[in-house]
Structure 1
Amino acid sequence: MFGSLGLPEILLLVLIIILIFGAKRLPDIGRGLGKGIQNFKKALKGKPDEIEGPNKGEEKEEKV
């Protein structure tokens, strides 16, 4: 994602973010973003289990 961005571009983005949100709100925003990413990853890990779970149950019922 940041492969094409150099240090000056990243610093400019950080400066703009600080100006928009303010330095006091940045920790809260970062914390919320981190929790959102964690929940998203947990949901992705949980999806295959949920998809496989009902299918396995249906196969057992069909065999009976």
Structure 2
Amino acid sequence: MLNSIGIPGLIIILVIILIMFGPSKLPKLGRSIGESMKNFKDSTKDIMSDEEDEKKDQKL
């Protein structure tokens, strides 16, 4: 999907985001998106480890 956008499309998207949020809000926006992605990764790791533990317990 990202291959079809290309560099010009990404530049247009970034300009629109800059216009919508302004330069002062972009660091806060980026930080919150990064924290959300980190929390999502941690949650999925916890779920995967719980499932693996359950599978090990069922085999015993």
TM-score normalised to the size of structure 1?
A: 0.76
* Aligned counterpart, 2:8: 8
Distance 1:12 1:59 in 2: 53
Find out whether 1:21 has 2:21 as its counterpart: yes
Gaps of 5+ in 2: none
Report the Cα offset of residue 34 of structure 1.
Answer: 0.3
Find out whether 1:43 has 2:43 as its counterpart: yes
Gaps of 5+ in 1: none
Report the Cα offset of residue 2 of structure 1.
Answer: 1.7
Report the Cα offset of residue 52 of structure 1.
Answer: 4.3
How many residues are paired up? 59
Report the Cα offset of residue 50 of structure 1.
Answer: 2.5
Residue identity over aligned pairs, in percent, reads 31
TM-score normalised to the size of structure 2?
A: 0.80
Q: 1:6 to 1:52 in 2, by over 3 A?
A: closer
State the superposition RMSD in angstroms: 1.8
